[in-house]
């Protein structure tokens, strides 16, 4: 009987490491090796976009940029946000009330001990920032809080 219990316990413990519990690595349309990303991006861009880092608040010139245009991914040029959806949240990061549909993907970030909705580029997987439910009530109520270094501004012609 002891051997049977030990066998069942062993099988149960081994099954806890099944493939169903392993996180799948998503393949993006634009995929590069770590070395290729490091060669293409500045140190800060690499830290934010590839390592899910965060730039210091109020450090991006895009935070107070009010020109008309498109904000694209700094890694792959995918259009992510329109200038008409940008607002000054006072947080120190460029903020938008909505994304360009289909170009931003979402996931969960639990690094701070609680769950936040993470945003990343749907084309290359680059980390952009997080989305919160404390944006302008008169529009979407969302605040897409984005690292300026993850963005490239393309002025309207």
3-state secondary structure of 42: coil
Could you tell me the sign of the dihedral formed by the alpha carbons of 40, 38, 31, 114, in that order? Answer: negative
CB distance 67 to 82 below 8 Å: no
Alpha-carbon separation of residue 62 from 24, 76, 94, 101 (angstroms): 34, 18, 6, 21
User: Structure tokens of 92?
Assistant: 């120190």
CB distance 140 to 98 below 8 Å: yes
CB distance 73 to 151 below 8 Å: yes
What is the set of active-site residues? 145
User: Structure tokens of 99?
Assistant: 């994304």
């Amino acid at each position: 009987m002891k051997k049977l219990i030990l066998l069942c316990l062993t099988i149960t413990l081994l099954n806890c490491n099944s493939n169903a519990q392993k996180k799948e690595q998503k393949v993006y349309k634009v995929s590069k090796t770590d070395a290729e990303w490091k060669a293409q991006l500045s140190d800060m861009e690499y830290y934010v976009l590839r390592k899910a880092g965060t730039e210091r608040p109020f450090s991006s010139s895009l935070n107070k940029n009010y020109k008309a245009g498109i904000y694209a991914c700094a890694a792959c040029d995918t259009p992510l946000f329109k200038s008409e959806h940008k607002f000054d949240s006072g947080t120190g990061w460029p903020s938008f009330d909505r994304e360009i549909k289909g170009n931003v993907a979402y996931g969960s970030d639990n690094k701070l001990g609680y769950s936040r909705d993470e945003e990343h580029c749907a084309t290359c997987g680059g980390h952009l920032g997080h989305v919160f439910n404390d944006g302008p009530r008169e529009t979407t109520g969302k605040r897409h809080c984005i690292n300026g270094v993850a963005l490239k501004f393309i002025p309207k012609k």
